[in-house]
Structure 1
Amino acid sequence: MDNALFSRRRAERFAQLLDEANGGRRHHVRSRDDDQLAPLVTLGRQLGANAPDAEVDPEFRTGLRAMLLATAVREGVGAPAPARPAEKASSGRGSLLPPVTARRARARGAILIGIAAGAVAVSGISAASEDAVPGDALYGMKRGTERAQLALTSSDISRGQLFLDFARTRLAEAATVKGSPGGYRAVLDDMDADTRQGVRLLTGAAAQRSDPAALAAVDAFLTDQRRSLSALEGRGSRIDRARTGESLALLESVAERADAVRAAIGCGREFTVSSDTLGPIPAACS
């Protein structure tokens, strides 16, 4: 699909076709774009008639609403048309401007409705993909939903907690793919990457604010993750068991770093300018 699809002319014609498909007044014209727009009109009707029966995540709904409102403000959807000089309003050209403006507003509104309908449909698929594991058809959608959650989250603490939640999810997936050649180790690689990202953001936030409150999420994560990962330690091939040991060693490093950051904050020590994959490296308390 090329970017010219949503040019002004095609957008206006798309809005007309949507009106006609929904029982609106028929426009006795035919455009050369109708054949290309017909599948989109059909899809729009199907999305409206068969809304997915899924609960939309509140955070996703809030982000989507903010995006639509921002788009509406930027595009001027729903805003009154600016007043025009009397001499232009009395001319033949001026009398055509209000209908054109109205058509453009309808076209923009139709595009926003299409975005919203598509987002709701995607949210339904996302809900269905929550239990997907590596190798399933919907697993890519599951990981894409996680990236969308990160994009809608602004603070480092919230993003760090999300990464730790994703690490918990990867561990649950690892239990289902155990025994798969390479699959188990690949999932643990992703789990460790999410762990490092989350810990780095949370320790960084704690150091920046001189407040250890952000480390509470790390402590809770370590308690659950150690217990669940230890249950897998004695199972699988020798290579898998060795890989499980590497992830357990990472959790020990995380615990040491969290304790060191907490201690440095408690004794008022400043943090060094250096950092690693687990965040800032604190100076030792005397």
Structure 2
Amino acid sequence: MDSNLFSRRRAERFAQLLDEANGGRRHHARSRSDDELAALVAVSRRLTADQPTVEVEAEFRTGLRAMLVATAEREGVGAAAKTEAATTSSGLRGSLLPAVTGRRARARGAILVGVAAGAVALSGISAASENALPGDALYGMKRSTERAQLALTSSDISRGQLFLDFARTRLDEAATVRGDRLGFGAVLDDMDADTRQGVRLLTTVAAERSDPAGLDAIDGFVTGQRQAVSGLLDRADHVEQDRTRRSLALLDAVGRRADGLRAAIACGLPAPVASDALGPAPVSCPAGR
């Protein structure tokens, strides 16, 4: 995870959204991260409503406690209470402390709430639903957990790789869908959508930074994914075969886009202006370059 994963501002906003979702006072200010954090709030509410039976490993409990204690020490949670007690014992009134001290303490506490809720959601729920398939009771929880992972990832490269991982997961699910044309097509639709979003993020970063590292991740994905998708062509249903070929065509387009961007970076072209569902659309290198 990125170093700014649990940044103060995102954690404070997450705590506000949780409070609002549970009937608390609404905050008029909106944040750019609200849409991303909404997925994590949804997971938290499902946790409260459904509470799947999950055994949390002792090692995880120990690690989480250590992380919370370290965060508390770093952010100074509890320092305000100690200061007030010391002031009172020396004969000064606690009311001399600025009112903002209490708000800061609560805000720092909200950071811990965000850290704990995110960690528990991504551990307990993932363990309970990671093997859920379309139609299973926990499948919706599985997809919500994936969206929460995306919300907690602030790097475009990491988010792009996550999308490609989800596309691989959708492929595994598609292989289990038998005799259900609509269900099979829906899973492949989700797989292709994850592929496009992941590729777009990685190609955009590669073009902006003139760094082909993200393209290497795309190449590896296309190689493995194409071979696995081709295995779906052995189905007897011609409708499912046709739908599978559309996903193969998308992977071919992704491969060509990565090759084109790699060539453009190699010959020193600036980042492409034109863009589509797969990200920047490179132009051919001039002759002689």
With normalisation by structure 2, the TM-score equals 0.66
What SS does the corresponding residue of 1:133 show, helix, strand or coil? coil
Q: 1 CA distance for matches of 2:56 and 2:79?
A: 30
Of residues 81, 84, 87, the one that matches 2:83 is 81
Describe the shift of the 1:198–1:119 C-alpha distance in structure 2 as closer, same or farther (beyond 3 A). closer
Q: Structure 1 counterpart of 2:83, which letter?
A: A
Task: Provide, for residues 236-282 of structure 1, a one-character-per-residue CA deviation record: whole Å limited to 9, x for no partner.
Answer: 42211111000000000000000000000011122331100000011
Contact preservation (8 Å) 1:55, 1:127: no
Question: Which residue does 2:284 correspond to in 1?
Answer: 284
Question: Which residue does 2:56 correspond to in 1?
Answer: 53
Question: How many Å apart are 1:78 and its aligned residue?
Answer: 4.2
Contact preservation (8 Å) 2:201, 2:279: yes
Q: 1 CA distance for matches of 2:223 and 2:114?
A: 44
Task: Provide, for residues 139-191 of structure 1, a one-character-per-residue CA deviation record: whole Å limited to 9, x for no partner.
Answer: 11111111111112121111111110000000000001132130000000000
- Which residues in structure 2 correspond to 1:86-105 (within 5 Å)? 89=93
Question: Which residue does 1:186 correspond to in 2?
Answer: 186
Contact preservation (8 Å) 1:164, 1:221: yes
Task: Provide, for residues 17-39 of structure 1, a one-character-per-residue CA deviation record: whole Å limited to 9, x for no partner.
Answer: xxxxxxxxxxxxxxxxxxxxxxx
Q: 1 CA distance for matches of 2:181 and 2:148?
A: 30
Q: 2 CA distance for matches of 1:128 and 1:191?
A: 22
Task: Give yes or no for the alignment of 1:230 onto 2:239.
Answer: no
What SS does the corresponding residue of 1:265 show, helix, strand or coil? helix
Q: 1 CA distance for matches of 2:209 and 2:115?
A: 39
- Structure 2 gaps, min length 5: 1-21, 26-47
- Structure 1 gaps, min length 5: 5-42
Q: 1 CA distance for matches of 2:156 and 2:121?
A: 29
Task: Give yes or no for the alignment of 1:155 onto 2:140.
Answer: no
Contact preservation (8 Å) 2:200, 2:278: yes
Contact preservation (8 Å) 2:121, 2:145: no
Describe the shift of the 1:116–1:243 C-alpha distance in structure 2 as closer, same or farther (beyond 3 A). same
Question: How many Å apart are 1:225 and its aligned residue?
Answer: 0.4
Contact preservation (8 Å) 1:56, 1:123: no
Q: 2 CA distance for matches of 1:250 and 1:168?
A: 14
What SS does the corresponding residue of 1:271 show, helix, strand or coil? coil
With normalisation by structure 1, the TM-score equals 0.67
Describe the shift of the 1:270–1:120 C-alpha distance in structure 2 as closer, same or farther (beyond 3 A). closer
Aligned-residue sequence identity (percent) comes to: 60
Q: Structure 2 counterpart of 1:77, which letter?
A: G
- Which residues in structure 2 correspond to 1:1-286 (within 5 Å)? 1-3=22-24, 52-54=55-57, 65=67, 69=71, 73=75, 76-79=77-80, 80-82=82-84, 84=87, 89=93, 116=116, 120=120, 123-286=123-286
Q: 1 CA distance for matches of 2:114 and 2:58?
A: 19
Q: 1 CA distance for matches of 2:111 and 2:272?
A: 51
Contact preservation (8 Å) 1:200, 1:278: yes
Q: 1 CA distance for matches of 2:275 and 2:91?
A: 68
Q: 2 CA distance for matches of 1:237 and 1:208?
A: 43
Question: How many Å apart are 1:3 and its aligned residue?
Answer: 1.5
Q: 1 CA distance for matches of 2:121 and 2:281?
A: 45
What SS does the corresponding residue of 1:81 show, helix, strand or coil? helix
Contact preservation (8 Å) 2:173, 2:187: yes
Structure with higher RCO (Cα < 8 A, 6+ apart): 2
Contact preservation (8 Å) 1:178, 1:236: no
Task: Provide, for residues 69-95 of structure 1, a one-character-per-residue CA deviation record: whole Å limited to 9, x for no partner.
Answer: 48x949x43443346587753xxxx69
Contact preservation (8 Å) 1:171, 1:191: yes
